Amino acid sequence: CPSPADLRPLNGSRLCAELFADNSPYYDQCCAGDVLPVEPGSDVPYMPYKWSATVSSLVVGTKCELVVWSRRGKKGSSRKFGA
């Protein structure tokens, strides 16, 4: 997995998080598959259709916090992730 300080796309701007579709019990195979980048200041109450119930691993950048909810539309219980 990338380190929290290394979350930068090809254009060099900063990302707050990356969500990954594939995971593995073997650390060197985690954070694989499709990647959903999360820009700073993003407010997304609904996951993109393809990503519903798909995220299996994530990395949150330094000085960022990712809040996720158990139900769509920011409903249900929430959980916060940081670097």
Q: What is the pLDDT of residues 12-22, one digit of tens each?
A: 778 899 999 88
pLDDT digits (tens, 9 = 90+) for 27-66: 777 888 889 999 888 888 888 888 878 888 889 998 899 9
**The pLDDT of residue 1:** 82
Ordered by start, the domain boundaries in the chain are: 17-82
3-state class (DSSP) for residue 18: strand
